[in-house]
Amino acid sequence: MLRLWMDGVGGPGWAGWRRGRSLAALLLTALCLAALAGCASLPANAGRTPSYAAKDTSNTLLARTLAPRLAQNPGKSIFYPLGAGPDALAARMALARAAQKTLDIQYYIFDIDNTGSVLMGDLIDAADRGVRVRILMDDIHTGKQDKTWAAVDSHPNIEVRIFNPFASRRARWFELAFDFGRLNRRMHNKQMTVDNLVTIVGGRNIGDAYFSAKPDMDFSDLDVMVAGPAVPAASAVFDEYWNSASAYPVATLVPEGKEAPAELRAFR
């Protein structure tokens, strides 16, 4: 009997038992994560300070540069298409370096890859010059970026807010399944507005695949750089999202990130 039992160990019956145990463990883990996601709740969001686009930027470099061209066509805006990825990145970098008052950044995706890090370095440099930088990110693609965004937010001239965030930062997909109605409300807006004078809007998010910098992937998106009366309208849209109850300061979601400002050096 003992020999027969030993022969069975590792046989079909034993293997089936091990597979069943593994499946049970997987299901138990999934149920635990789902329970954690379902019980998680967002922190209070009452401490936000409303802020709005700058109104008087007439004494800036951009204002002086644009004034002659806009004077030729009163009441009209200037539109310049950005079809090529490298041009779209270069335009954003140039505007960030020209900013003197404000930089408003609103994106569905902001990847911290090669191009994203380069642009982030310019945003931090602008903040070092005294420019007020507001960054509004949708939360759907910020997985594993919490500490990075919290570190960026630690700069005294930069504020980062997350739109419609997941309460559970580690079990977000389970939370999505249990609160689909709220979490399916995503922010696909994409704009970068400088001094309330020039904005870039269009289909591009921030990342290598959007700027022709990824060998195996290239999105054929189109941006438009705009100057003139249309820009305050874009700023008004940004302000509406920024000041909405669905926009949470990243510091309320990742309070421990305040201890990691040294990560800012990675963008220099």
CATH code of residue 113: 3.30.870.10
Residues 208 and 174 in one domain: yes
How many other β-carbons are positioned within 10 Å of the β-carbon of residue 193? 27
Please tell me the distance from the alpha carbon of residue 145 to that of residue 250, in angstroms, as a whole number. 11
Please tell me the distance from the alpha carbon of residue 112 to that of residue 204, in angstroms, as a whole number. 15
Question: Percent of the chain beyond pLDDT 90?
Answer: 63
Residues 133 and 262 in one domain: yes
Residues 20 and 101 in one domain: no
Residue 47 lies in a domain: no
206 phi/psi in degrees, rounded to 5: -105, 125
Residue 247 lies in a domain: yes
pLDDT band at 13 (very low <50, low <70, confident <90, very high): low
Residue 44 lies in a domain: no
Residue 135: both structure tokens together = 């960054």
Residue 67 lies in a domain: yes
pLDDT band at 100 (very low <50, low <70, confident <90, very high): very high
| Per-residue model confidence (pLDDT) at position 5 | 36
Residue 164: both structure tokens together = 């419609």
| Per-residue model confidence (pLDDT) at position 166 | 87
Average pLDDT over residues 116-139: 96
| Per-residue model confidence (pLDDT) at position 231 | 98
Residue 48 lies in a domain: no
Residues 91 and 125 in one domain: yes
Residue 45 lies in a domain: no
Are the C-beta atoms of residues 152 and 124 closer than 8 Å to each other? yes
Residues 68 and 35 in one domain: no
Range of the domain at 245: 54-267
Dihedral angle over CA of 130, 66, 116, 165, nearest 10: 70
DSSP-derived letter for residue 165 is: -
pLDDT band at 1 (very low <50, low <70, confident <90, very high): very low
CA distances from 183 to 12, 71, 178, 180, 239 (A): 45, 45, 9, 5, 21
Given a cut of 90, is residue 134 above it in pLDDT? yes
For residue range 197-234, what is the model confidence (pLDDT) as tens digits? 999 999 999 999 999 998 888 788 999 999 999 999 99
The closest of 237, 238, 230, 211 to 79, measured between CA atoms, is 230
**Total domains, the chain:** 2
Average pLDDT over residues 19-45: 59
Given a cut of 70, is residue 56 above it in pLDDT? yes
Average pLDDT over residues 157-166: 94
pLDDT band at 47 (very low <50, low <70, confident <90, very high): confident
Residues 10 and 130 in one domain: no
Residue 212 lies in a domain: yes
| Per-residue model confidence (pLDDT) at position 60 | 97
Average pLDDT over residues 136-145: 91
Average pLDDT over residues 63-68: 96
Residues 118 and 180 in one domain: yes
Residues 8 and 141 in one domain: no
Residues 150 and 174 in one domain: yes
Residues 174 and 213 in one domain: yes
Residues 112 and 3 in one domain: no
One-letter identity of residue 7: D
Residues 86 and 21 in one domain: no
| Per-residue model confidence (pLDDT) at position 167 | 84
pLDDT band at 21 (very low <50, low <70, confident <90, very high): low
Given a cut of 80, is residue 182 above it in pLDDT? no
Given a cut of 70, is residue 184 above it in pLDDT? yes
| Per-residue model confidence (pLDDT) at position 258 | 55
Residue 59 lies in a domain: yes
| Per-residue model confidence (pLDDT) at position 265 | 65
